[in-house]
Amino acid sequence: MKSYLAAAIQMTSVPDLQKNLSQAEELIDLAVRQGAELVGLPENFSFMGAEQDKLAQAELISQETEKFLIKMAQRFQVTILGGGFPVPVRDTGKVYNTALLIDANGQELSRYQKVHLFDVNVPDGNTYQESSTVMAGQSLPPVYCSETLGNIGLSICYDVRFPELYRHLAKQGTEIIFVPAAFTAFTGKDHWQVLLQARAIENTCYVIAPAQTGTNYDRRQTHGHAMIIDPWGAILADAGDKPGVAIAEIKPTRLEQVRRQMPSLQHRVF
């Protein structure tokens, strides 16, 4: 693993596939021009609309999103995470909320289907029922081991509330954790930052958290604050509440230093 720049992209995705892909391309270009070699896009980056609208267009969204990720990775010669998009599940009428990691050659490195679905009555009066259209993944998230970029573990949004998932990633050798999200504005203001810092601290890993922000459709408002956090829990970059990019350096020397000073992963009892 070498030192390099990573980018967590922040978008305001809407119920318009082509508009979202154009926005994503502009922000990937911005990140690469600033030197990023690893780029993460948020959950629902290619389409963010009502669940039934997403389901009706799922086949097209899935195909166009995968083609887009391959094209962008090859064009810009970077590794890209598509942080969450619908992939139809045959004979179910549902989709997997899928994260996909693609290398600079356009090759798939790892794929993860979100296991924790957001079925929540939020105190602001909004109700979310992700399981109405999404099928939960059945497998723990993968870890992709790269000699240059480090060991990369995947997760998606609501997963961040389940520390056992991240402890699994840590036990598999993860050094960089992706948490692409579309966190609600209501829960985000209280929980987003502290949860990301906790996952970084307890697993002594870098956390890269691309995010949705602003009003995406109807009453759906997302929190923003795409972040990159170091293994000590320090916030290295924060994209604020507008579309943009959070960029920070991933340093193997910092990872080694924190793990040497705070060897908590070696002290696990259970």
Active site residue 43: yes
| Secondary structure of residue 73 in the 3-state scheme | helix
DSSP class of residue 232? T
**Candidates 37, 43, 64, 66; catalytic one:** 43
Q: Is 151 helix (H, G, I), strand (E, B) or coil?
A: strand
60 vs 47: CA distance, rounded Å: 11
3-state secondary structure of 83: strand
51 tagged catalytic: no
Question: Is residue 19 among the annotated active site residues?
Answer: no
How far is it, in rounded angstroms, from Cα 207 to Cα 220? 25
* Residues shown for the chain: 270
Phi and psi at residue 83, to the nearest 5°: -75, -10
Collapsing DSSP states into helix, strand and coil, what is residue 43? Answer: coil
Task: Single out the catalytic residue among 54, 157, 175, 205.
Answer: 157
Catalytic residues: 43, 114, 157
